[in-house]
Amino acid sequence: MSKKKTLSGIGVVPQVLIDGYVRYLRLEKGVTDNTLDAYLNDLQKLLNYYGDEGIDYRCVTLEQLSHFSAQLREVGISPTSQKRVLSGVRSFYAYLTTEGELEQDPTELLESPKLGLHLPEVLTIEEIDRIESAIDQSTPQGVRDHCIIEVLYSCGLRISELCALSFSNLFLEEGYIRVLGKGRKERLVPISHRAVRELENWFTIRRQMEPVKGFDDVVFLSMRRRKPLSRISLFIFIQQYAEVAGIAKKISPHTFRHSFATHLLEGGASLRAIQAMLGHEKISTTEIYTHLDRSRLREEVLLHHPRNIKKE
């Protein structure tokens, strides 16, 4: 990132600490530019609060931080956004403590707002097959799109991971692909024989394309621009195919990742294995799928248990 990051009201915290925090996030945490911007925006909210209240960042109390959290709620910031802001605050104070600027982290006991459990939308195998069947594979774009959906589902990739997938990270004979995930962390993900076949079909077309300079190693390109696919284009064509297939659910590229994880869990895979394949840093993130599985189990019980079946 060429532009130097600065924050207003910086008198509350020395600029040298902000600069050090930016380096810490970039080099040690490996955050993306978008994540860096989000962390600094969250820190700006805290600095504004300190400036308004005349608080010294080195002497802030848990009560004052809790009051800051309450203010976020009072101005209408959603619980999810509140949680993200407080995560940024904790990150900043973790940096200050690590660097020896503070002896004790004042955010250790700071509580985040409780979030209601949001169960992601999941497709059945039959619905995924219907979406793939809705694609006209007689066209080059159809071959590409059919391959993309199969790879998304077979490997449980994030949309950004699929868009950045490169030939140098494919080990198809060994049955793996290497994925560069959040925080630039690498992981190896098994790939199904069906997805390998789809990739080989796409390669016959991809080899005939002349990418824009610098994108020769990218697997999936825009047919027109010869550059990596954008997120929005993936959203659009997946929703279009779902509509043609008669899928009423609200889906996105991420829906195939949720479906991948849920079907693995239903098939008997362990949470640790699913965590590794999804690239989740914390097992708690993966545990959402146990709730999803229980929800589906409840539906099955209500539908099929003899005590729940209503007599006609």
**What total of structural domains would you count in the chain?**
2
- The tokens for 64 are 């004052």
17 found inside a domain:
yes
What average pLDDT does the segment 98-102 reach? Answer: 89
- Same domain, yes or no: 143 and 223: yes
DSSP for 147-199, written as a single string? HHHHHHHHHT--HHHHHT-BGGGEETTTTEEEEE-GGG-EEEEE--HHHHHHH
Better-predicted residue by pLDDT, 33 or 166: 166
On whether residue 104 sits in a domain, the answer given is no
What is the CATH classification number for the domain harbouring 41?
1.10.150
Give the mean model confidence (pLDDT) for residues 218-239. Answer: 93
Confidence of residue 270 (pLDDT cuts 50, 70, 90): confident
Mean pLDDT along residues 291-303: 58
CA distances for 261 relative to 123, 199, 266, 288, 293, angstroms = 11, 21, 9, 10, 10
What amino acid is encoded at 2 in this protein? S
Question: What pLDDT sits at residue 3?
Answer: 41
Range of the domain at 205: 125-303
Residue 147 lies in a domain: yes
Residues 148 and 293 in one domain: yes
- Which one of 54, 82, 98 terminates a domain? 98
Report pLDDT digits (tens) over 42-63: 888 898 888 888 899 899 998 9
On whether both 294 and 203 belong to a single domain, the answer is: yes
Q: Are residues 142 and 92 in the same domain?
A: no
CATH number at residue 245: 1.10.443.10
To the nearest 10 degrees (0 to 180), the angle between helices 33-53 and 62-74 is: 110
Residue 238 placed within a domain:
yes
Is the predicted pLDDT of residue 222 greater than 60, yes or no? yes
pLDDT band at 143 (very low <50, low <70, confident <90, very high): very high
Look at residue 10 and tell me whether its pLDDT is greater than 60: no
Please give the mean pLDDT across all residues of the chain: 85
Taking the C-alpha atoms of residue 174 and residue 191, their distance in angstroms, rounded to an integer, is 9
pLDDT at 304: 55
Of the candidates 166, 195, 160, 167, the one whose C-alpha atom is nearest the C-alpha of residue 181 is 160
Same domain, yes or no: 140 and 206: yes
Using the 3D structure, point to which of 46, 79, 98 is the last residue of a domain. 98
For the chain, percent of residues with pLDDT exceeding 70: 87
What is the structure's pLDDT at 2?
36
What pLDDT, on the 0 to 100 scale, is given for residue 116?
Answer: 57
* Rounded-to-integer distance, Cα 157 and Cα 194, Å: 16
Is 16 a residue whose pLDDT tops 50? Answer: yes
Best mean pLDDT range from 122-131, 266-275, 284-293: 122-131
Is the residue at 309 inside a domain? no
Considering the domain architecture, whether residues 87 and 179 belong to the same structural domain is answered as no
The secondary structure of the chain in percent helix, strand, coil, rounded to multiples of 5, reads 55, 5, 40
Q: Do 163 and 290 fall within a single domain? A: yes
Mean pLDDT of 81-94: 89
User: Is residue 312, in this structure, part of any structural domain at all?
Assistant: no
Q: Are 87 and 110 in contact (CB under 8 A)?
A: no
Residues 21 and 145 occupy one common structural domain: no
User: Taking the chain, what is the end-to-end CA distance rounded to the nearest angstrom?
Assistant: 67
15 and 149 assigned to the same domain? no
Q: Is residue 292 part of a domain?
A: yes
Q: Please say if the pLDDT value at position 228 is more than 90.
A: yes
Could you list the active site residues? 158, 182, 254, 257, 280, 289
Assess if residue 310 is contained within a domain.
no
What pLDDT was estimated at residue 305?
A: 53
Judged against a pLDDT cut of 50, whether residue 238 lies above it is answered with yes
Residue type, 262: T
Do 189 and 268 lie in one domain? The reply is yes
**Are 78 and 153 in the same domain?**
no
Better-scored residue on pLDDT, 191 or 114: 191
**Token pair recorded at residue 262:** 């849920």
61 and 152 in a common domain: no
